[in-house]
Structure 1
Amino acid sequence: MTTKLKTLKGVNINFNLRQQKPANKQTSIHCILRYNKQRVIIYDIEKTEPRNWNNKSQLVRGNQRARNGQNINDFLKDRKLAFDKIFADYVKAHNKYPDPAYLKEQCLKVVNNELTEDSKAVTDLIEFIESFIAETKTGVRLNPSTGKPMTPETIRIYANVLDSIKDFKSAKRFNTSLDNITLDFYGEYTDYLKFEKKFATNSIAKYIKNIKTFMHDARDRGFTANDQFKSKRFKVITEETDTIYLNTEELESMYALDLSDKPRLERVRDLFLVGCWSGLRFSDYKDISAKDIDGDFMTIKALKTQKEVVIPIHSTIKSIMTRYQGKTNNSLPPTISNVKMNEYLKEVAEEAKLNEIIQLKYTKAGKTVVKNSPKFKLITTHTARRSFATNMYLMGVPSITIMAITGHRTEKSFMRYIRVTPAEHANKLKELWNSKPASMKLLG
């Protein structure tokens, strides 16, 4: 429900010093905008000495010590007027309060003299995504969940979506204005990705998910009133794929390999096993530092979520650390790029004779594709994390404990993530029954 215009109030703008002491040392002037129980802070607008600052007027005192005081005051007054105008113009145009992230972004452009008519009048999706990416790279736009900068991988995905829309526009002569990202666009664009670009269903899903993100932001910022992207028909369609995991016996066979004459493969194998017994993403287990390790535990701040997790160090990892003690700062294998790691992992797995034929089934170009491949060809760095989650589940570790390490928010998403066959589920249930006292077995 849209708030009526007459109920919308203005913004309260104040300037404060970062600190009051020492009185003769310059400190930053911050601007705080308050409205509708929201608060936006614009840091480091100017600098002055606390002894020259008037807290009541929120301006620099007119004295001889503050030689450039008038210039600072003029600057602050100009910025206050500009910030107030941005807020008022948005409320007048959209009959609602601006999103705090948008308001901060526009105010920062004023501070940095970047606010131009062109930046206000974004009407095309391609133009908007280009701006979205630029702001993400510079840190103006942060991850809304963590408040931290977006990862390079996320920016790369944004760029891929942008390129695909440019190609689509050129190939189909489609009008990609923000107002034209409708259900018609959805149908034509997904057909283009499916039949002409030969994308798999889950790849298309990732692109649509990001387009919905862009459109949400564009609408929140008042660049369009179009909301067809919210329709149930403008949906992200995914399918379950037969992603593999390695069971404990397979991990043991990899660990038992003698790769002393192949140091390139040995360190890749060891680094992979660290991931298999820690549950960390590759971006995290490749960069464990010595300070993260304390006795029998490691404490890691996940790069993707910025959440801290504490993980007990498995005996396999301890054994690996013994091998590298004194050779590396963290007593763990040296890091390697994701691309090379994935390439060498397949060699390691082949040496371990992980030759089981895996049948993969997925949808591509609108058709069901069935492909048979030896298991060693399918192993990647992410197999480590999935192996950890699945093996821990089969060992009887409570889902909530595993999820605390893997970062899954719901048990539903966790159960989709792990790879447990019907036979493994049956064996797990049988083991549970056999572990019960004899008197309870009669009950089930």
Structure 2
Amino acid sequence: MRQLIIKIAKGHKDEVLKSIEEFEGKNTIYLPQDEQDVFVIYLPNRTVNNFLKRIDEYEEPEISLIPRGVITLYPPASESPGQVADVQPKSSLEIYLGGIQSVGSVKGLIGYSFAAGIIVWIGLYTTTIFLLVAAMLVAPFAGPAMNAALATAAGKMPLLKSSLKRYGMAIGIGILASFLMTVIFPLETLTPLMVEVSHVSKVALLLPLISGFAGAINIVQSERDSLVSGAAVGILVAASLAPPVGLVGAGIYMMNWEIVWSSVFRIILQLLGIHLAATLVFYFFGRVTPGGVRFLKGNKKLTYLTTAIVTLGIGAMMVWQFSQPPFLRKASMNTELTEELDKELNKLDYIEVIGKDVNFTNTMINGNPTVSYNITVLPSDTTLSESVLKKRIINHLKENLRHQEDNIYEVFQVNVAED
């Protein structure tokens, strides 16, 4: 339930009270004054927007909406538990106004973006995972992401332009901070964490779709119905953006264009996926539509056109990803090649496999990306010398390892353990 305080010109008392009853208002308080009537109203979340549309017919009301849940208890007392448990999503008006209110200052956006860029660079430089998490907490990406989706759902071009501007500013400042840190502390080679973060999976699209869905659901739900804090959802949104933003700055300094382009791919894919998922949630679940919010007259063409562009953009990104093997699928190919390696090693009865690891490197040999197979085995047949054993294993793998790509340069490292 939401509490509203309304001032309205005299002469409409009966109509207003009738509207309150129609929209399931409870515990209404009526306070007559000399020139205006004052109503303190408690309405279910879902009816707030339509109720305000109705009272707009009575000249120009003054409205105070308190965006916090209110527990209303009314007869019969035996139904109180059910009344308290009735938790509904926010009204479309509150969702939209809340998005606008969360825009915040440009100075804060600049400061947090710069701080996040520095923190993520330190995390990548020192291979410290928890610093990447800290950068996700600080990075101000969630606000512009959700506001851009709100603008698309509502068909409001000014809000969309403002959100995209803030989006670009936050990402650009994060890249600049990472670049400056690399200038101050020059890097000659990528750290292991940088290499790992630069690898893209074939299921990379799922993360932004889930992030956008979770972020929008958190905004639409009332505070008593949300099982996850807003900060946690903000981290989820930033998790898909902060690390690649930091990598772009370092990659530009090192002129490592593979790192730069893989990071740019991830950033664009995250932006499009978050936007699409959040827009659909706001439109269908939050009822934020061009004509669905009081006083808001959005442009339906903008909603449909922007959604179509984002959808086509995602399709183009998928074509780009799967037409550039294995450039933009190294993370998932590591897993696939490990499975193939395990299958082939299990066919060799003269060894026991102690450990195995498959990793793409950022080194190009003969113009092809390089994958390293690192295997540790314990020989079952002690009559074989170490050199013969290694040669037999490598020859078997070269002849039998199967994968879809033919432009991969493979190197093998076999370590023979002793018991």
Give the TM-score of the pair, scaled to structure 1. 0.22
TM-score of the aligned structures, taking structure 2 as reference length: 0.23
User: Which has the larger helix fraction?
Assistant: 2
